[in-house]
Structure 1
Amino acid sequence: MLKNFAILVTLGFCYALAEGGPPAIPHRIHIQARAHPKSSFLRRRALSPIDVPLSDFFLGTDLQWFGNITVGTPPQILSVIFDTGSPFLEITSDLCTRCPQKKFNTSASSTFVDGNTTGIFSFATGGGVDPVIDNDYSLTVHTAADTIGLVNGFSAPDIEILLIINQTTKFDIDPYDGIQGLGASAQGLFAALISQSLPGNMYLTPKAVGNAELILGGIDSTKFTGEPIFGDLPPAETELPPSVWLLNSPGISVNGHTTGFLNTSRQIIFDSGTSNVVFPTNTTEAIYALISPDIKPFPAEPGAYGMACDRIAYLPATLDFTFTSQNGTAFNLTIPTVELNVGPFASNTSHCQTLINALEGVEGVLGGSLLKHYYTIYDIGAKRIGFAPAKLLSAQVL
């Protein structure tokens, strides 16, 4: 989920430590997909991971993955998206009278500290596949601090929280209670985990596969094939916040073909909070032109594209995004054809939405459509991202 100043996370996520620090006991967090009716860390320390189960929010396609944290004293359990595109923790609170989600009861926590500041966050990408229009994804938040932890024991005091005190209606269907940022500039709970030698690693899966998880303190090599390939984060730039996980890409191809325009350099963000793929209009339409001339903008939802549902299944649409590894060799990350169709539009069910939305202001965002096909390692200590094909996915989808 992209904010106006910071952008969301990936699947297969790993906060890694720089060298040093005592070994610690890892934590594993199981992640579920939400269902809706419609070289530091890779030295493989001998750690016993802690699992945080993750659930998959599914609405025609996999949207986000979320799991539980604890807030306050005594601990209150809330569910959050683990979002690589944001550094912050935002949770619904008892100060939000219209929020339908479970709320953090501020008065019931003996360690709660009011921050006395209120502000508004707008998002560039929302919780689903629909493009964000104007301020249809916006949160009013109030600053605070409290003890934050994992349901299996680890906790840290005085973690900054943004309490949601109002939200636009687009958030009402969300089955989770907030967003836990896992940005490249570690803050809050995850900065505390890193200081205790507890890096983290997220493995996201499609709803049909299940068993997604966030692993804190270890890498589960049973979840991927081969060795991870790493790319270095580019030097920090003023245009983008330091919380963003991104790599330079020298080119994009579709079904093995490219164009002069697509075969140019761009910075692409990896965001587990974004459900599908986002590019500027000119890039979006250049990619679609290599798939089918029948993919057109959908007027009822500016920024979205689609075509007749009875034809989309027959279109080949393998998208390859090229990056450069740490040793200087090129490697591709691939979105398979199966991801092209994200489901019918609610206002015209004979028309199906395609996976790329157009949005100005970013050069590219790869979300769940790509990340659920890879075990992705976010290495804070070495400022790099690693990818390996997810083992269950290679058997089931690719």
Structure 2
Amino acid sequence: MHRISSVCIAAGFLSQTLATGVVEFPLSKRDASGAQSDIARGMLVKRDPSTVEESVYDVLTWSNGGAYYTNVSVGTPPQIQTVILDTGSSDLYFDARSASACTEPRTDSNSCRGGTFDSSSSSTYKTTITGGFNTSFGDGSTATGDFGTDVVQIGDVSLQNVQFGVARDVDSTTGFAIGLMGLGYSFNEASENIYPNMPEVLVDAGAINSRLYSVFLNDVGDATGTILFGGVDTSKYTGDLTTLDLIPQGIETTDGETVNYVYEFVVAVTALSTTANGKTTSVFSSGDASGQSYQNTLPVLLDTGSAAWTVPSSIYADVAALIPNLDDYGNCPCASADADISLTLTFGAAVPITVPVRDLVVPVYDAQTNVQNQTTNGEPLCTFMLSPGQENEDQPFLTLGDAVLRSMYVVFDLDNGQVSLAQAAVNTSTSASTSAAGSSVKIVPKGPGGLAKALGSSAVKSAAGNSYSIAPMVSTTANFALSTVGTAVGTATGTAAIPTEAAVSGTVGSGSGGNGGTATTAGASASSSKKGAAAAVRVPVFEGAGIVLGLVVLGGMGLGGALAI
């Protein structure tokens, strides 16, 4: 999901509050533990900086191509919330229990599926900006309400005074209403008053050294991956990491001057090739040795909140021609996923990433029944996770979502305006690692070159350092008071992380409270138990003044925000 807005740089917008440690969430696609957190019982444990793990998981029956979710809790006593994990936006928000969409029956196509927050039931909630939260989405949906602060728990870390939006009016036009955790630069928040978002809260609270985290989505057939705040897990990728500078965008300062500024995760794809049945064909090659240009490259936003990769129509046509039995709507029999086809994308003229076709051809489910749709011939129906689109003057890049990110290990370094990339080592364990000697988890120190210091200079091909201005941290006097809680939120992994109501039809599971409980696969294929969609139509993505939520079905650009169709 991507937010577009007019932004200006205010003078003095800089804070370098730094600390130590690592915070880790395993990524899967949605867990709904109803276990009462120890924070509700007053059992806070002093925390040494190390790791914090959460399950982030893929609910494929709720959205086309799936979306990556994590669980947090909010309030005292804690209320479990499921949120989409989104590197393409910056705000944390939850759907209010009083929102009309959240009072509808669970069977309704626009109901709340990620849990709801009842602020009146929390003894620690405070409204900070009445009516200050206002988010709009690419399909015309909106979420509006207040900004407030409360205790937020992620993994086994409890943080006080965290600001977030409370969506008291949710107009979900095309799908289920679900909250969101934006992990982009706070500079790009949907608020007139920029505030510390989750990466910055973790820094200010002393949990991590700097605004840096690593994302590992894992193979398309795996339910869970990890996000590791403050460090890198060397077991989750192959080869060396290569660091690229993020590409800046021109914005206007408060004195009317236009400057180039880094505030989104935009990098350039400088080459693309396909390999089919052993034959490799170049689709395009930019010839840009620097990999740092919007010209003659494919600039892309690395966006975990989007499912598909949106490409120019000419490139879409070249690649789509290889997919067996692909129709004009981007649909095909699921057997097409078995074809001997792969794509190789080169990022920044330096990092080749290979994506197998099985990550690009995914099943389509009926969102109301969780039953996989079929072709007219009675075969299981799938959709192709590339989508044709075009850059425009206001957005000179396209969105690269989970279909490609699953094949990548990505280190998002907000402080230094860089990302570091490598081929993902899929199907590896997602259990939490410790920072002890010999562990695969390496804590990254603050400052330029921190990754090389953590891993050794020979294990990182580093850029010299981004010479453009980088969106800084928000200066704040808030006390985020970090504590460790004995019972972590959202620790389930694999199929155990998938709630019963989101499980593919034909699976069994037992509810564990919260938003539906867990499920285990029984008699479903690996692909069909891991993929999903909600409707068999294409929907164009429109972009407004607020957050742009590319909610698209069947090969669409984006998923996430408050809604997943």
TM-score over 0.5 for the pair? yes
**Given the alignment of the two structures, is residue 317 of structure 1 paired with residue 317 of structure 2, yes or no?**
no
Partner of 2:202: 193
By how many angstroms is 1:58 displaced? Answer: 2.4
8 A Cα contact 1:4 1:122, kept in partner: no
Aligned structure 1 segments of 4 or more residues deviating by more than 6 angstroms: 394-397
Residues 297-334 of structure 1 show CA distances to partners (whole Å, capped at 9, x for unaligned) of 22xxxxxx234555x2464432222222xxxx522122
Partner of 2:268: 248
Partner of 2:424: 390
8 A Cα contact 2:28 2:68, kept in partner: yes
By how many angstroms is 1:5 displaced? Answer: 4.5
Partner of 1:353: 383
TM-score (norm 1): 0.75
Partner of 2:355: 335
Rounded Cα–Cα distance in structure 2 between residues aligned with 1:265 and 1:151:
39
By how many angstroms is 1:153 displaced? Answer: 2.7
**Sequence identity of aligned pairs in percent?**
20
8 A Cα contact 2:29 2:55, kept in partner: no
Rounded Cα–Cα distance in structure 2 between residues aligned with 1:364 and 1:202:
20
Letter in 1 for 2:67: Q
Partner of 2:331: 306
TM-score (norm 2): 0.54
Letter in 2 for 1:349: T
By how many angstroms is 1:29 displaced? Answer: 2.0
**Given the alignment of the two structures, is residue 165 of structure 1 paired with residue 189 of structure 2, yes or no?**
no
**Given the alignment of the two structures, is residue 23 of structure 1 paired with residue 20 of structure 2, yes or no?**
yes
Partner of 2:400: 366
By how many angstroms is 1:79 displaced? Answer: 1.7
Letter in 2 for 1:322: T
8 A Cα contact 1:71 1:146, kept in partner: no
By how many angstroms is 1:144 displaced? Answer: 1.2
Partner of 2:316: 284
By how many angstroms is 1:189 displaced? Answer: 2.3
Rounded Cα–Cα distance in structure 1 between residues aligned with 2:351 and 2:235:
22
Choose which of 102, 108, 127 in structure 2 pairs with 1:113.
Answer: 127
Change (3 A) 1:283 1:49: same
Partner of 2:55: 53
The answer to which of 191-200 and 225-234 deviates more is 191-200
Letter in 1 for 2:400: L
8 A Cα contact 2:29 2:224, kept in partner: no
8 A Cα contact 1:56 1:207, kept in partner: no
Residues 181-224 of structure 1 show CA distances to partners (whole Å, capped at 9, x for unaligned) of 00144742221112335243332224643442222333222222
Residues 15-49 of structure 1 show CA distances to partners (whole Å, capped at 9, x for unaligned) of xxx9994423x3322332249xxxxxxxxxx9622
Partner of 2:433: none
Partner of 1:83: 86
Partner of 1:183: 184
8 A Cα contact 2:91 2:186, kept in partner: no
Residues 112-146 of structure 1 show CA distances to partners (whole Å, capped at 9, x for unaligned) of 2152226653434xxxxxxxxx53xx222113121
Letter in 1 for 2:20: P
Letter in 2 for 1:297: D
How many residues were matched structurally? 349
Q: Secondary structure of the equivalent of 1:98?
A: helix
8 A Cα contact 1:248 1:268, kept in partner: yes
Judging by fraction of residues, say which structure has more strand. Answer: 1
Q: Which has the larger radius of gyration?
A: 2
Partner of 2:246: 233
8 A Cα contact 1:47 1:218, kept in partner: no
Larger RCO, structures 1/2 (Cα 8 Å, 6+ apart):
2
The alignment yields a C-alpha RMSD, in angstroms, of 3.6
**Given the alignment of the two structures, is residue 257 of structure 1 paired with residue 264 of structure 2, yes or no?**
no
Within-5 A mapping of 1:84-103 = 84-99=87-102, 100-101=112-113, 102-103=115-116
By how many angstroms is 1:288 displaced? Answer: 2.3
Change (3 A) 1:188 1:314: closer
Change (3 A) 1:330 1:262: closer
Change (3 A) 1:19 1:320: farther
Letter in 2 for 1:155: L
Partner of 1:38: none
8 A Cα contact 1:253 1:262, kept in partner: no
Rounded Cα–Cα distance in structure 1 between residues aligned with 2:68 and 2:324:
33
Partner of 2:2: 2
**Given the alignment of the two structures, is residue 219 of structure 1 paired with residue 219 of structure 2, yes or no?**
no
By how many angstroms is 1:386 displaced? Answer: 1.2
Structure 2 gaps, min length 5: 7-14, 32-47, 103-111, 188-195, 253-259, 288-295, 367-372, 430-525, 528-565
Residues 280-311 of structure 1 show CA distances to partners (whole Å, capped at 9, x for unaligned) of 4344224324x25964422xxxxxx234555x
By how many angstroms is 1:336 displaced? Answer: 1.1
Choose which of 150, 155, 158 in structure 2 pairs with 1:154.
Answer: 158
8 A Cα contact 1:139 1:167, kept in partner: yes
